[in-house]
Amino acid sequence: MRKIWKKFSRELGIIIALIILVVIFGLLEPLYLTPTNLLDIVDQTVINGLLAVGMTLVIITGGIDLTVGSTMAVVIVSIGQFLINGLNPFISVILGMVLGFILGTINGFLISKMKLQPFIATMGMMSLYRGVAYLITGGWPVLNIPQRFRTIMDGDLIGIIPSSVIILLVVTFVAYILLKHTKFGTYLYSMGSNEEATRLSGVNVDKNKILAYAACGVTTALAGMVILAKLGTGEPAAGQGYELNAIAAAAVGGTSLSGGKGSIVGTFFGALLLQALRIGLIVIGVDTFWQYIATGGIIIAAVYLDIIQTNLKTWRLNRRIK
């Protein structure tokens, strides 16, 4: 039992915190614990969950991706235009993922090959991609998205469970396998811990870093297409500020913002925890503006907790050596 706790302490800690949070809000407002509301929490976690999974891959390398909101907007309006012009919905989904892959690859290229700092590179591309989204539609929303596409991305697939929830679960599982059971995942952790040592060991750091950003682009594209399906319209202004929520979910889930450490499972429950908190505040009647304060406070607390854990490990290691 101690070995399990030691190995999955952060993930189990988040699950316990989530249970406590749900119980507290349930006691304050019984409607919070109704099956409909609990399913709504999971459903509304999908978009941030998809963004956070991709963001986790990037952060583990020691990077950051501030373009996720703007990338979503480009995918939303592009695929929206394809759909209203009669393109097959399944082909549109594939094209959306390809577009996300390309946009993510561009980010990775700027950082790995052109040696730009991740923050600077993605901040610049965030503005550029947003401009592209506005140019595609001239600033107007894309209307009348076909129902067939909306059913594929957000229709009831298993009973009352939306297909978007299944998409999140599948993406989370695939990302978990990639990180924990492939060389690619091992390389990402190694790059985040010591990039130069990883490069000297023969790993193609540039290629793997580009792939990490490309994967983030794909999960972002899926999140964008889920929004498109949910709303039925494509707004070029969509996704603004979503990068903060994705970073928050990853940080709460135990991903170190300095790189080299992170967990897809932790990120998933981190996104779930944030959404449970937001809906809980709404249900008990707290002003929605407090959500921003809560999100910012959670990021700071999560980062500080990571610092404390790192210092404790260092102290224990030094004590053993002495």
Classify 63 in phi/psi space as left (phi over 0), alpha (psi -120 to 50) or beta: beta
- Spatial neighbors of 126 by CB under 8 A, at least 6 apart, are 66, 67, 69, 70, 243
- Spatial neighbors of 27 by CB under 8 A, at least 6 apart, are none
Helix/strand/coil for 234: strand
Integer Cα distance of 110 and 116 in angstroms: 6
Enclosing H/E stretch for 141: none
Looking at residue 2, what is its pLDDT? 61
| CA-atom Rg of the chain in angstroms | 20
Integer Cα distance of 182 and 310 in angstroms: 26
pTM above 0.75, yes or no: yes
Looking at residue 291, what is its pLDDT? 73
Going along the chain from its start, the domains and CATH numbers come out as 36-308 (1.10.3470)
Looking at residue 208, what is its pLDDT? 96
If one counts every other C-beta atom within 10 angstroms of the C-beta of residue 6, the result is 8
Looking at residue 84, what is its pLDDT? 93
Looking at residue 297, what is its pLDDT? 79
If one counts every other C-beta atom within 10 angstroms of the C-beta of residue 63, the result is 25
Integer Cα distance of 229 and 80 in angstroms: 10
Cα 207-104-84 angle, rounded to 5 deg: 145
Report how far apart, in Å, the C-alpha atoms of 55 and of each of 26, 90, 148, 188, 307 are. Answer: 31, 25, 29, 13, 20
Q: Dihedral, CA atoms, 165, 268, 219, 129, nearest 10 degrees? A: 120
Q: Render each residue's pLDDT in the chain as its tens digit; 322 residues.
A: 566 555 566 778 888 888 998 999 999 989 899 988 999 999 999 999 999 999 999 999 999 999 999 999 999 999 999 999 999 999 999 999 999 999 999 999 999 999 999 999 999 999 999 999 999 999 899 998 999 999 999 988 777 789 999 999 999 999 999 999 999 999 999 999 999 999 999 999 999 999 999 999 999 999 999 999 999 999 999 999 899 899 989 988 889 888 888 899 999 999 999 999 889 888 888 777 777 787 777 778 777 777 777 777 677 767 776 6
